[in-house]
Amino acid sequence: MGPSSAPRRLSGMQKQVLSLYRGFLRAARTKSAEDRQRIESLVSIEFRRNAKEVDRKNFLYIEYLLRRGKKQLDQLRSPDIVGLSATNVSFSQTKDPTH
């Protein structure tokens, strides 16, 4: 392998984004098949949209998106949560979301 075939190094921020993406996919595996498919689809759409629309040099906004994503991921990991929407997480119908 020559130097041109070596994989490009990822920045710290790129690694954080990929780690967050993988975290969402792992969390989706813990949900029902239907919820998993919906979560994976939404996550894919959101990450692709941000990859296209967000300027790669807008570090403050990317850091904000990472923080927001981590909060959503923490919520998704809860057994009471069954899915995501574009703006928030959905509670299981069997649980009372007011508690």
* pLDDT tens digit sequence for 62-91: 999 999 999 999 999 988 877 776 545 544
Structural domain includes residue 44: yes
pLDDT top residue among 10 and 74: 74
Mapping DSSP to helix (H, G, I), strand (E, B) and coil, where does residue 55 land?
coil
Structural domain includes residue 40: yes
Structural domain includes residue 1: no
pLDDT for residue 97: 41
How many domains in the chain? 1
pLDDT for residue 91: 43
- pLDDT (tens digit, 9 = 90+) per residue, 21-67? 999 999 999 999 999 999 999 999 999 999 999 999 999 999 999 99
pLDDT top residue among 70 and 4: 70
Q: Angle 28-65-54 (CA atoms, 0-180°, nearest 5)?
A: 110
Range of the domain at 46: 10-91
Structural domain includes residue 3: no
